[in-house]
Structure 1
Amino acid sequence: MFKRIFWVAVGVGIGIVTVTKAQAYVKANTPDAARQFLLGPDQSNVPMRTLEGLVKEFNETRRAREAELNNRYNVQAD
C-alpha cells in the first residue's frame, strides 16, 4: 500500500516538474501572440485557472451524476 502511495506521489511530482518546465520553455521561446493563444492573456495565473477549471468541472459532473442517481432510485422506491 505504501509503495503505491509513494509511486503515485513520485508520478505526481514528475508531472508537476514536467508541466512547469514545459510552460517555462513555451514562455521563453514563443512570440507573445502565440503565447497568449496557448496560455491566455493572464499568463501568470495559468496553474490556478487550470485548477479552478478542473474543480468546477468535477463539481458540475458530480452534481449531474448525483441528480441522475437520485432520480433513478427515487422512481424505483415509489
Structure 2
Amino acid sequence: MFKRVFWIGTGIVVGVVAVSKAQAYVRANTPQKAREFILGPDEDNVGQRTLFGLLTQFQQVMKTREDELNNQYTERFEARQRSL
C-alpha cells in the first residue's frame, strides 16, 4: 500500500514539474502570437482553466448518468406497481 502511494505521489510530482517546465520553455522560446495561440490570451491561468473544464465535464457526465439511473429505477418501480 505504501509503495503505491509513494509511486502515485512521485508520478504526480514528476507530471507537475514536467508541465511547468514545458510551459516555461514555450513562454521563453516562442513569439507572443504563437504563445497566445497555444496557451490562450490568459497565459498565467492555463492550469486553472484546464482543471475547471475537466471538473465541469465530469459533473455533466455524472449528472447525465445519474439521470439515466433514476429513469431506469423509476421505470422498474412503476412496472412493479402496475403488476401488483
Q: TM-score, normalised by structure 1?
A: 0.93
CA distance in structure 1 between the aligned counterparts of 2:75 and 2:6, rounded to whole angstroms? 44
Computing the radius of gyration over CA atoms, which structure comes out larger, 1 or 2?
Answer: 2
CA distance in structure 1 between the aligned counterparts of 2:4 and 2:51, rounded to whole angstroms? 24
Which 5+ residue runs of structure 2 have no aligned equivalent?
Answer: 79-84
Which 5+ residue runs of structure 1 have no aligned equivalent?
Answer: none
Counterpart secondary structure, 2:41: coil
Runs of 4+ in 1 over 4 A off after TM superposition: none
Residue 36 of structure 1: CA displacement?
0.5
CA distance in structure 1 between the aligned counterparts of 2:20 and 2:33, rounded to whole angstroms? 20
Q: Deviations over 1:35-55 (max 9, x none)?
A: 111100011111111111111
Residue 70 of structure 1: CA displacement?
1.1
CA distance in structure 2 between the aligned counterparts of 1:2 and 1:64, rounded to whole angstroms? 36
Q: Deviations over 1:25-69 (max 9, x none)?
A: 001101111111110001111111111111111111111111111
Query: Residue in 1 aligned with 2:26?
Result: 26
Query: Residue in 2 aligned with 1:66?
Result: 66
CA distance in structure 2 between the aligned counterparts of 1:77 and 1:5, rounded to whole angstroms? 43
Residue 77 of structure 1: CA displacement?
2.2
